Chain A
Amino acid sequence: QVQLQESGPGLVKPSQTLSLTCTVSGGSISSGSYYWSWIRQPAGKGLEWIGRIYTSGSTNYNPSLKSRVTISVDTSKNQFSLKLSSVTAADTAVYYCAREPRLKRAFDYWGQGTLVTVSS
């Protein structure tokens, strides 16, 4: 059974960089069959796709966040990571990592989510 687990600081100061890691267990992140995505959800609001990475390192980002986002993968640790720079209060949200089978374009496994608050 595949499991994803987000980790990282729960509090980030404005203008700093938010950094999160997603650890994948029960399967290899190196499998060529999947993309690995980050998705966020502000309290009481809808889901927003942030971006994704393939095991080759190729990435796709939400155009509205592209200038501030970097997603990377560490196959040796079976992890992928998110960095979001120059954060403001508007970036306060629950951040999820998720798996997307290449042939489905849908998210079949999700992490439990981690709340990141941007505040001084």
Chain B
Amino acid sequence: QSALTQPASVSGSPGQSITISCTGTSSDVGGYNYVSWYQQHPGKAPKLMIYDVSNRPSGVSNRFSGSKSGNTASLTISGLQAEDEADYYCSSYTSSSTLGFGTGTKVTVL
């Protein structure tokens, strides 16, 4: 299974909004509302930020939001803060009953 495609890097200034895309196919992102997003700081385990395309787990800031259109899902971080600087990965359920991750995006706060 191929990795979902994400931009290698996205940057923004504090207070700005940024959006990270995650492109798959009709067999994964486009076929199911099972897209999730993870934040990973260096040396740490990933943390679930969004599940089922647009749902936030308890405790996750409402500055994080998710959406999907066709085969592309998106994560938007609004009111960018220094602590948001991290790697972000999308994940999707697939038609083969497996899960796949995106290529990862490094978010830099300028």
Contact = CB atoms under 8 A, between A and B. Distances in A.
Interface residues of B, number: 25
A111 B45 contact: yes
Contacts of B34: 104-106
Contacts, number: 66
A74 interface: no
Interface in B22-80: 32, 34, 36, 38, 45-48, 51-52, 57
Contact of A47 (B32, B97, B104): B104
A100 B57 CA distance: 13
A105 B100 CA distance: 11
A108 B57 contact: yes
Interface string A38-51: 01000000111101
B98 A107 contact: no
A96 interface: yes
Count class of interface residues, chain A: 20 to 34
Contacts of A110: 45-47
B89 A47 contact: yes
B11 interface: no
A52 B93 CA distance: 12
Interface in A16-55: 37, 39, 46-49, 51-52
Contacts of A52: 99
Given A106-B36, A108-B51, A110-B45, 17 more contacts: A46-B102, A47-B38, A47-B46, A47-B91, A49-B99, A49-B100, A52-B99, A62-B1, A100-B99, A104-B34, A104-B52, A105-B34, A105-B99, A106-B34, A106-B91, A108-B48, A110-B47
Interface of B: 1, 3, 32, 34, 36, 38, 45-48, 51-52, 57, 89, 91, 93, 96-104
10 contacts: A46-B89, A47-B104, A49-B99, A52-B99, A60-B96, A62-B98, A100-B99, A106-B34, A106-B51, A110-B47
